[in-house]
């Protein structure tokens, strides 16, 4: 199976973000959990002053009635004024686009940003909604029954694994 080096892909993502948003004032919002890890690293690497906003989009997903409440649902936290801000929404894997749609709905509940860009570590295709990332670490193609999962070890190093999805 395909080998993915998360740290190398992250460095590419951070470099692209540096080049794309040079001189701009960004505010970062990460989607729980992997997107938050990436946003925290980007905050440090891009020298962004504001705290990272954290979203758990569980209640905003369009499949909530099918999947129900997950036991690990956490409250979202955005400790800065969203209205008029340039938001860089960060997630680990972009697939159907439904998580990003849910995240944008929740962001707008906090206020109307001037702009929202999307950064993802992995774009694996399979879009069901017309959503595209502004910044992508790597683009890969995988069968629909394989999930890409970002994990972080005790030393805060990122790793990507691929797992067979359940039916």
Q: What pLDDT shows up at residue 111?
A: 97
- Fold that domain 6-164 belongs to in CATH: Rossmann fold (3.40.50)
Using omega within 30 degrees of 0 as the cis cutoff, is the peptide bond preceding 33 cis?
yes
Please give the backbone phi and psi of residue 85, each rounded to the nearest 5 degrees, phi first: -85, 155
Q: What pLDDT shows up at residue 166?
A: 74
Q: How far apart are CA 105 and CA 75, in angstroms?
A: 15
8 A C-beta contact, residue 111 and residue 119: no
Per-residue pLDDT tens digits of the chain, which is 167 residues long: 567 999 999 999 999 999 999 999 999 999 999 999 999 999 999 999 999 999 999 877 665 445 555 556 678 999 999 999 999 999 999 999 999 999 999 999 999 999 999 999 999 999 999 999 999 999 999 999 999 999 999 999 999 999 998 75
| DSSP character string of 84-125 | T-EEEEEEEEESSSHHHHHHHHHHHHH---SEEEEEEEEE--
Contacts of 40 (CB under 8 A, 6+ apart): 30, 52
The full set of domain ranges for the chain reads 6-164
* Residue 167: DSSP 8-state: -
């Amino acid at each position: 199976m395909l080998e993915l080096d998360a740290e190398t892909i992250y460095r590419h993502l951070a470099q692209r973000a540096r080049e794309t948003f040079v001189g701009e004032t960004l505010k970062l919002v990460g989607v729980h959990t992997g997107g938050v890890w990436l946003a925290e690293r980007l905050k440090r690497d891009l020298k962004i002053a504001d705290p990272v906003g954290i979203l758990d989009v569980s209640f905003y997903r369009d499949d909530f009635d099918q999947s129900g409440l997950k036991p690990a649902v956490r409250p979202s936290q955005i400790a800065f004024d969203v209205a008029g801000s340039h938001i860089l929404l960060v997630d680990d894997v972009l697939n159907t686009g439904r998580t990003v749609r849910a995240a944008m709905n929740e962001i707008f509940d906090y206020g109307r940003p001037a702009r929202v860009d999307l950064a993802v570590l992995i774009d694996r295709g399979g879009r069901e909604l017309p959503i595209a990332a502004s910044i992508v670490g790597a683009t890969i193609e995988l069968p629909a029954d394989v999930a890409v999962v970002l994990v972080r070890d005790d030393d805060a190093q990122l790793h990507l694994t691929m797992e067979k999805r359940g039916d």
